Chains A and B, each alone.
Chain A
Amino acid sequence: MDIYLDNNRMTRVDEQVLSAMRPVLEGEYGDLFALHSAGAKSRKVYHEALDKVYASLHASSDDTIVFTSGGAESNSMVFQSTYLHYILTGRKNNVIVGERESLSVMKAAKFLESQGCRVNYLPVNSDGVVESERVLDYITPRTALVSVSMVDGESGAINPIEEIAKICADFDVPLHCDATHAIGKIDIDLQDSGIDFLTISAETLHAPAGTGALYIRKGRELIPLIHGERGGAEILRGGPLNLAGIAGLGKAVELASDALSFEMEDVRELRDSLEESISGIDGSMVFVPWAMRSPNTLLCAFEGVDSESLLYELNRDSIQAYSPSVNPYGNWDSKSIVKAVDADRNLRFSTIGFALSRFNTEEEMEKTAESIKRAVEYLRSFSPSEEKR
């Protein structure tokens, strides 16, 4: 049986999410703007999902949440709008982003840079976490946006968003947070959070990929990225919405926030047991201290063991993990964790990550730990660096 430990990228669809989606896929297909009863059925599905997302995130009804096609679209919408609103018009000239953001944020930042905008990259400290005070080094009244993810999708590092939000509020600079890896992992309360834009994506929440949402605080405005908007549900995005995906996302967000406290405790326990076994392996290193890491993630490195080879060996044992440093498939636009936390540079191509979900079991963790041990031992049996040890 497969042991799936790549849950920070894509997750298995939950049975309850599937149940929420099924009626839409099987029968409720009316256009949201149609006056007939088919339209009414769709509107009911839409409103239910919307209410669930508002409630789960503790968003005020004065704020706006629009559904999108996923995290990348939500992120792009914020950056493109910032560009059109502030940079292009010359009103502001600076954007600040974390140096270890997701690919869509990094690429958007690079785009702004190519358009003549000054982009500052916030460094992370030796724990892999953005230091809030560093925002003060760069922020000015001419800063158009600060974008820092709530949780690092590779390392699981939890960034101090509250403190960053306070600084942004002092300068009246909008703060964007990518919460793709935070929802269902840590507590999120948008009341008085100071966050102006929040990205949500379905694929990490046991719902199908291809749906996401963007939270917009009252008073902040955005320009549509996809035109054809008709107002209402489509106020910021043209084209009929993916209603089945939205029904799934609504259910998934509700499940994630309802079960957060007890479910994540279970996941944390499983993760910790795996972490303990890995720490016992000679020449291993775990990135980001325990207390600063989301409960489902474990990013580590083994000296003298190539990431892709280790993934390959684990895959042969039906264990699916991830690595941020497999050539040529990694996110090379953001700074590598090894460089960011100033670890031994020889570990750069030796990182491997395990992201758990509520579907993992104790037995799976035991099997995974055994497989890792065996694979590391095997690969080190003909590793050049092993001769020095």
Chain B
Amino acid sequence: MSKSDISMRECWEEYPFKIQMLAEKPKNNGILTEEDAEKLNSELSVFDYGSERTGARIVLYWAIDREEGRVTACRYTLFGSPAHRAAADMAALLCRNKTPEEISKIDYKTLEYFLRDRPDRPALPDSKRYVVTFVLEALSVASNMVMGVEREESPVVCKCSGTRLDDLKRYIREFGIKSIGEIGDYTSAGRFCKMCISASYGKEREYYLDEILDSVRKEMQEESGGDSAVSDKPFREMDIEEKKRAIEIAIDQYIRAMLVMDGGDMEILDVKENGNNTDIYIRYLGACSGCASASTGTLFAIEGILKQKLDPDIRVLPL
């Protein structure tokens, strides 16, 4: 236990202004009709995710352009908390003008960053992280359906929160979850009747959270050979995978916060070795895309930082 465990900083008054604003005045809620889509020369697709029984349900309405396949308009209806509403509204904003493939690549970090007021302060308390994963899961289910990617129906692990086995396994890997409490933070599984946590609660279940956590963590340890940190080799001597990881970390540490402060963000599309040079292909997101300084000042700043922190022969190429 520590001071953070006994603090009470998890309630509404601690939410960032952005979340409060989006929760109180959402801009993208509501529905789209066939006629609305027709006006945009688009096809309407509707996706339903979640359930009232498990505390959150979202129905996404996407108007998808017939020629380019981009989402021209996005709306949603929602049963969920104010934080759900803020996350869903921001997600709807992010989906616009993207192809389903691009939408499926929106990750936790991106959506969460967009909900922050200050780059160094998380948007939501730890115990409410499941709000972001819920909205992302809905986006992923929707984009997969459009792209025709079929996913097998995975068994439900926690009946109260509706958490499924494959999602849980993925989250444990993605977020490096180490405890049952953290599973609750990211999925809200195990928070309610608690019977799914372990066999010691006395209800017979096919899956228990503690067993799943143990087995996935064991797998992860075996795969990484016990070492998942960035290599301490000089940047030039790293192989391409290690370079990618180092660049990703440098961007997170020194660059992303700067962009997010102005409502923007960036993602790395590819890293290529070109003779002596390392070329980093990036895409701007949010307010950065289309910003006049994206190809001048901002670009020089990003390149400058990476050159200074990693290697003088780095080139950054925005697409």
Chain B contacts of A386 at CB under 8 A?
77
Chain B contacts of A309 at CB under 8 A?
80-82, 85
CB atoms of B31 and A346 under 8 A apart = no
B310 at the interface (CB under 8 A from A): no
Instruction: Point out the residue from A304, A332, A350 that lies within 8 Å of B191, measured CB to CB.
Output: A332
CB atoms of B59 and A384 under 8 A apart = yes
B44 to chain A, nearest CB (A): 14
Which residues between 54 and 81 of chain B lie within 8 Å of chain A, taking CB atoms? 55-59, 76-81
Which residues between 365 and 386 of chain A lie within 8 Å of chain B, taking CB atoms? 381-386
Instruction: Point out the residue from A315, A327, A387 that lies within 8 Å of B12, measured CB to CB.
Output: A315
Q: What is the CA–CA distance of A117 and B137 in the complex, to the nearest angstrom?
A: 42
Chain A contacts of B188 at CB under 8 A?
327-328
CB-nearest residue of chain A to B78 = A382
B262 to chain A, nearest CB (A): 29
CB atoms of A332 and B79 under 8 A apart = no
CB-nearest residue of chain A to B130 = A327
Known: A328-B184, A348-B55, A382-B30. A308 touches B193 (CB 8 A): no
Which residues between 77 and 136 of chain B lie within 8 Å of chain A, taking CB atoms? 77-82, 84-85, 127
Q: What is the CA–CA distance of A333 and B201 in the complex, to the nearest angstrom?
A: 12
Known: A312-B23, A348-B55. A383 touches B81 (CB 8 A): no
A98-117 vs B, CB cutoff 8 Å, 1 = contact: the mask equals 00000000000000000000
CB atoms of A327 and B77 under 8 A apart = no
B92 to chain A, nearest CB (A): 11
Chain B CB count within 10 A is highest, among A312, A327, A386, for: A327
CB atoms of A306 and B191 under 8 A apart = no
Known: A309-B82, A312-B82, A332-B192. A350 touches B24 (CB 8 A): no
Q: What is the CA–CA distance of A281 and B72 in the complex, to the nearest angstrom?
A: 37
CB-nearest residue of chain B to A346 = B52
Instruction: Point out the residue from B24, B52, B85, B192 that lies within 8 Å of A385, measured CB to CB.
Output: B52
CB atoms of A332 and B82 under 8 A apart = no
A319-357 vs B, CB cutoff 8 Å, 1 = contact: the mask equals 000000011100011000000000001111110000000
Chain B contacts of A305 at CB under 8 A?
79
CB atoms of A384 and B78 under 8 A apart = yes
CB atoms of A349 and B192 under 8 A apart = no
CB atoms of B52 and A327 under 8 A apart = no
B224 to chain A, nearest CB (A): 31
CB-nearest residue of chain B to A332 = B192
A316 at the interface (CB under 8 A from B): yes
CB-nearest residue of chain B to A307 = B81
CB-nearest residue of chain B to A348 = B53
A312 to chain B, nearest CB (A): 5
Chain A contacts of B45 at CB under 8 A?
none
B170-202 vs A, CB cutoff 8 Å, 1 = contact: the mask equals 000000000000001000100111100000000
CB atoms of B55 and A306 under 8 A apart = yes
A100 to chain B, nearest CB (A): 14
B299 to chain A, nearest CB (A): 39
B144 at the interface (CB under 8 A from A): no
Instruction: Point out the residue from B12, B29, B80, B127 that lies within 8 Å of A306, measured CB to CB.
Output: B80
Chain B CB count within 10 A is highest, among A315, A316, A333, A383, for: A383
Known: A306-B84, A385-B79. 13 other contacts (CB 8 A): A306-B81, A309-B82, A312-B81, A328-B127, A333-B194, A346-B52, A347-B52, A348-B52, A348-B55, A349-B52, A349-B79, A382-B30, A385-B52
| Interface residue ranges, B against A (CB under 8 Å) | 12, 23-24, 26, 29-31, 48, 51-53, 55-59, 76-82, 84-85, 127, 184, 188, 191-194
| Interface residue ranges, A against B (CB under 8 Å) | 304-306, 308-309, 312, 315-316, 326-328, 332-333, 345-350, 381-387
Which 5 A-B residue pairs are closest in the complex by CB-CB distance? A382-B29, A308-B81, A346-B52, A349-B55, A384-B59
Q: Sample 22 A-B pairs with CB under 8 A, ordered by A number.
A: A306-B56, A306-B84, A308-B81, A309-B81, A312-B12, A312-B23, A326-B81, A327-B55, A327-B191, A328-B188, A332-B191, A346-B52, A349-B52, A350-B52, A382-B26, A382-B29, A382-B77, A382-B78, A384-B48, A384-B78, A385-B57, A387-B77
